[in-house]
Amino acid sequence: MRASVVYVVLAHRNPAQVARLIRRLATDRSSFLVHVDRRAGAVEDELRQLVEEVPGVDFLERYRCYWSGFGMVRATLSALERLVDRDVQFDHVVLVSGQDYPLRPPEAIEGFLGENRGLTFMKAEPLPNEWPGGGLPRIERWHLVSPVVLNIRLPWRRRVPNGLAPYGGGAWLCLSPAAVEYVVAFVHRHPEVVRFFEHALHPDELLFQTVLMNSPLMETVVLDHLRYIDWSTDPGPATLTAVDFANLIGSGKLFARKFDVEVDAAILDLLDGYIERATVASTG
């Protein structure tokens, strides 16, 4: 049976591209909570108009999202809290950016998740890992990310509160209902942990991983974020184009990132054609 999926969409630019993503994922089993970076001006107004005919689209309170700062975590937590507070019924919550795109028909994605109810999919590994400094400077140092100075780092060392073992991984998540409820309850019970990660670097790659991998739900976490991402460029990730098409469809993943229609819109046309052919083939 196909899963009921809530997509949490974090967007900051290219409203037409974000609308295209939403329309591509929209089914009778999907809904959307959309967060637009507060710094993005009228992007939300344009996006609202572009998706007004798509059922199940709602918009979240807007937060400022600076690169490497806490804004994306705050936006994600607000989405999870809304689902819990309103007792929304779902099988998975999938976090995507406005620059993601599916690699399979949405019904196939829902079918895969329906076969994996109760599981959470994300990248997570204990620190230290392969990140510079083993990733520990991200949490051991006190960081302030601001619009004036991108990152102020203070020299004193600190530890994750409550004896939590630190974990890090990719920022993109696919959460079970139990994981959503656990995270929301945890951050309400432990504001000191939230305050700690407010001053970590790239906390979207740390907080959810640390909370869930120190929880009773650890055994339900599949260490795969279900995405194709090309980290071969510096800085990464690479912007995917039509030359990446074969790698994308051969990856076995559900989603890929990142795409930019201002760089290459043809790759989305190719993926749409592939998805539509796959949909026809699956329905006979």
Domains and CATH numbers, the chain: 5-117+226-283 (3.90.550)
Residue 283 has pLDDT above 80, yes or no: no
pLDDT digits (tens, 9 = 90+) for 35-86: 999 999 899 999 999 999 999 999 999 999 988 899 999 999 999 999 999 9
Considering the entire predicted model, what is its pTM?
A: 0.96
Cα–Cα distance between 146 and 144 in angstroms, integer?
A: 6
Q: 228 and 103 in contact (C-beta within 8 Å)?
A: yes
DSSP 56: T
pLDDT digits (tens, 9 = 90+) for 153-182: 777 789 999 999 999 999 999 999 999 999
Cα–Cα distance between 182 and 190 in angstroms, integer?
A: 12
252 pLDDT band, cuts 50/70/90, is: very high
Q: Which H or E run includes 9?
A: strand 5-11
> What average pLDDT does the chain have?
95
Least confident of 19-28, 227-236, 237-246, 262-271: 227-236
Q: 177 and 94 in contact (C-beta within 8 Å)?
A: no
DSSP 203: G
Residue 114 has pLDDT above 80, yes or no: yes
Distance of CA 265 to the CA centre of its chain: 22
Residue 265 tokens read as: 């819109």
If phi > 0 it is left, if psi is from -120 to 50 it is alpha, else beta; for residue 181 that is alpha
Cα–Cα distance between 284 and 263 in angstroms, integer?
A: 35
Please tell me the predicted confidence (pLDDT) of residue 133.
92
Please tell me the predicted confidence (pLDDT) of residue 145.
80
